Amino acid sequence: MTTRSEEWVRLYRLKSPYEAEMVHAHYVEHRFVRHSPEHLVIGLVEEGVQHYTYQGAGHTTPPGETFFVNGDEPHTGKSATTDGYLYRTL
């Protein structure tokens, strides 16, 4: 995994044939406040463990697992460990 203090985000915008955004990121201390995506989000945690609240409950996503967030449904997000997590979303 990347070093503990290194956070980064890469955003890709796919224009053809459909518009979509893909995020590849490593977060350590960053926390997502409660927010709602416009569209369905499909995510994959590559390394580390993600913790998020969604539909009134807390969830964790370990490495190699996927998660889904429906559009217009509020959720939060953060690292479940001090080492951070590496993930991709579409």
Length of the chain: 90
Residue 2 resides in a domain: no
Give residue-wise pLDDT tens across range 5-26: 699 999 999 887 888 999 999 9
Which domain does 38 fall in, by range? 8-89
Q: What is the CATH number of the domain that holds 64?
A: 2.60.120.10
Give residue-wise pLDDT tens across range 64-85: 999 999 999 999 999 999 999 9
Percentage of residues in the chain having pLDDT higher than 90: 87
Domains identified in the chain, total number: 1
Residues near 60 by beta carbon (within 8 Å), at least 6 away in sequence? 49, 50, 51, 80
Stretch (H or E) spanning 46: strand 41-48
Residue 62 resides in a domain: yes
Residue 1 resides in a domain: no
Token pair for 86: 């590496």
Residue 45 resides in a domain: yes
Residue 3 resides in a domain: no
